[in-house]
Structure 1
């Protein structure tokens, strides 16, 4: 089983990634525009985007390494492999479920289920940052770029105000629960049918406020990398936007993508449509918007997923006899 499952997963993932990428309609336009960009003076920007991709997943690997060290020491290289392997599986499961499965295979037997709840803490921190940044972006755009629009594609400002309120309350509640994990864990453990699964969540009690703050800061840094990647891609594809408006709109875009449940490998169309709706308010370069969205999708999801599928070849599901 140890020598068959890994290669088999790699074959399935590689074939699926190739098939799905080939069927994305906007990729050919993106390739043509990217080819033109490379021929110009933007080659260094493309290299910068690749370096930001490595930084992006490196920050996520560091978060996971900090979290799981309370049950098993993991070096940074193994953490990076686990992150990319999880990404390769998450491309085909909604809301990142494969992400947990891909990471836990790198843990020792008996510690895998415990690692799932610790991984969830990292996702919780990233979601909190995404909600907070999206809220800030909404408020900025509402006060500036959208102030002369009576209706945004059927959304009245009354509805936007309602969304702002709901997101603000949700963000505060999520941050409260995040920093009260030890208290929340003790409370949940008192539930009779949960007590038998206490081993899965008891390690949450040992996460210090210092580590929680550190994870949150790493999540915020990672989000900044997302925004910078988009700004770089806008420049590559000649999408001319005011810097502050572009950054705020990217924050709102990630907010929308975080709220809507999607399968990452299949949501390029939805990402493109969301990008057109949001950035279309600020620019008429629709082809550049679509190319930027597809470029980010390829850079942050597909290329790392290909690497993750390669790492899956050598996984060992069973380490004990």
Structure 2
């Protein structure tokens, strides 16, 4: 009897070890790829630092790049405000606090747990855990925006080559299928909720908030997600300009779309908020246009510093003020 009681605990511990070492292995592969790419071009991270020092940080593109950082996160807060009001009406200021707290907690907790926990714990309602559904929809909207624009970028990439690889063609049709499936699920969300299944009913209190959204609310949230996507994509372009990366507009837009598509569909393990995934993807995508590795790394690391690390310091303040009990 005692042996049976302790078996699940050992299994869970073993699973955690597998997940941990899997993360370490994938992180090692990403970092190794970055170093190999630098080594192939006979550069090192000293070259990246040299580009940072040589960049004109008082230029107009650098100013706009920095100015768009709060715009980026205010759009995320607006999206969260739209979706969470079915659980608890909150102001844009309160939504911003929750988003920044979630961003900071995302550095310590795996997957999207940190982001969701920070947002939910910033609510005052005794129904705050029902906001899990709102948090899932919020993340899903951003995912769909990245997949949509990334699919368009992939289509342009496929049209530019005479004989595109089968893997790229397969990925394109898989993404189109995913977008159509998401549209159908949103359209039939009320019918899907009527499915009687023990497992679904067990978690119903966390996701049934989705059924209360109107089509207008979902479209508004998707619009906010799309505006945010365009904002940080434009920031990527500005970072490229700051570091002297000049490509034709089609290659630039396609490359940025493919980088964010890769960052979206490649599993993120949230070590320093997916630091490394965007960098490795950028090296692969922009390498086809012979963009020097130190330049593209300088651009992507600058984006991480501006859009992730800097807002985290503001989020840390709100994390300390979070209350685990309701007011």
Shorter-chain TM-score: what band? 0.7 to 0.9
Count of aligned residue pairs for this structure pair: 286
Cα displacement (A) at 1:78: 0.8
Among 302, 313, 317, the alignment partner of 1:310 is 317
CA distance 1:141–1:193, change in 2 (3 Å): closer
Distance in 2 between the 1:249 and 1:68 partners? 34
Match 2:229 to one of 223, 227, 244: 223
Equivalent of 1:36 in 49, 54, 61: 54
1:150-169 superposed matches below 5 A: 157-169=165-177
Q: Is contact 2:45–2:294 with CA below 8 Å preserved after alignment? A: no
Equivalent position SS for 2:194: helix
Correspondence list, 1:259-298, <5 A: 259-264=265-270, 265=272, 267-298=274-305
Change (3 A) 1:117 1:29: farther
Partner of 1:207: 213
In structure 1, which of residues 166, 178, 184 is the aligned counterpart of residue 186 of structure 2? 178
- Structure 1 unpaired stretches of 5+: 1-22, 151-155
Residues 75 and 267 of structure 1: CA distance in aligned 2, closer, same or farther (over 3 Å): closer
Q: Say if 1:296 and 1:63 are closer, same or farther in 2 by CA, change over 3 A.
A: same
Q: How far did residue 218 of structure 1 move? A: 0.9
How many angstroms does 1:269 deviate by? 2.9
| Equivalent residues of 2:51, 2:294 under 8 A apart | no
TM-score normalised by the chain length of structure 1: 0.82
Mapped to 2, the partners of 1:226 and 1:27 lie a distance apart of: 25
- Could you tell me how far 1:316 is from its partner in structure 2? 1.7
Q: 1:121 aligns with which of 137, 151, 165?
A: 137
Q: Sort the Cα spacing of 1:230 and 1:80 in 2 relative to 1 into closer, same or farther, 3 A.
A: same
Give the structure, 1 or 2, with the largest relative contact order (CA under 8 Å, sep 6 or more).
Answer: 1
Change (3 A) 1:100 1:318: same
Aligned with 2:89 (options 67, 73, 94): 73
Q: Structure 1's 134 and 291: CA in aligned 2 closer, same or farther, altered over 3 A?
A: same
Inter-partner Cα distance in structure 1 for 2:225 and 2:53: 33
1:65 Cα deviation after fit:
0.5
1:137 counterpart = 2:145 = no
Q: Secondary structure at the match of 1:268?
A: coil
Give matches, 1:77-92, under 5 Å: 77-92=93-108
Determine if the alignment matches structure 1 residue 250 to structure 2 residue 256: yes
Q: Alpha-carbon deviation of 1:196?
A: 4.3
CA deviation profile, 1:225-257 (whole Å, cap 9, x unmatched) = 121011100100001111121111111111111
1:33 to partner: Cα distance: 2.5
